[in-house]
């Protein structure tokens, strides 16, 4: 399972002209599910995301987590994070999980983050989404539950 995490002042997802998810200060998480991912990957990655100390403390150091600041989380499914661009000019998505598996694990990730009492908003799985954000910093990090990078 892969996540592209962006620290944001605000973010939203629109589908067919309607906002389906919106947050203020917090994290936008673009989440990709791989073929070999399982429930434990979703839980562990949610723990990592919510506990990452990437928000500034009173001294301007990244010492606070999403939980510490009581920030919000916007989770957007994005299978293209599993794209392999090493050969040719067209990405291969063979490492991405099939949609039914990916949706189930995406929902597990959302639920694992939600049990922490944080505000969690989502996009719409398998929909064409317009994602808007105001990046804070900018701070953008990549995580992988298999620790591939």
Catalytic residue list = 78-80
Token pair listed for 30: 């673009």
Inter-CA distances, 7 with 14, 29, 132, 133, 140, Å:
19, 9, 13, 9, 7
Tokens representing 129 are 């989404």
In order, the DSSP letters of 3-16 are EEEEEEEEEEEEET
CA 96 to chain CA centroid, Å, is 15
Tokens 């000019």 found at:
89
Contact (CB, 8 A) for 6 and 131: no
């Amino acid at each position: 399972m892969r996540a592209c995490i962006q620290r944001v002042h605000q973010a939203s997802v629109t589908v067919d002209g309607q906002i389906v998810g919106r947050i203020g200060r917090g994290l936008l998480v673009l989440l990709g599910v791989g073929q070999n991912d399982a429930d434990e990957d979703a839980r562990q990655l949610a723990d990592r995301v919510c506990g990452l100390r990437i928000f500034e403390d009173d001294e301007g150091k990244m010492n606070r987590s999403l939980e510490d600041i009581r920030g919000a989380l916007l989770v957007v499914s994005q299978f293209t994070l599993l794209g392999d661009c090493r050969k040719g000019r067209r990405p291969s998505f063979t490492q991405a999980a099939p949609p039914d598996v990916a949706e189930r694990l995406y929902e597990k990730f959302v639920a694992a983050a939600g049990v922490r009492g944080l505000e969690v908003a989502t996009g719409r799985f398998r929909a064409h989404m317009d994602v808007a954000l105001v990046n804070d910093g900018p701070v953008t990090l990549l995580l992988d539950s298999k620790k591939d990078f």
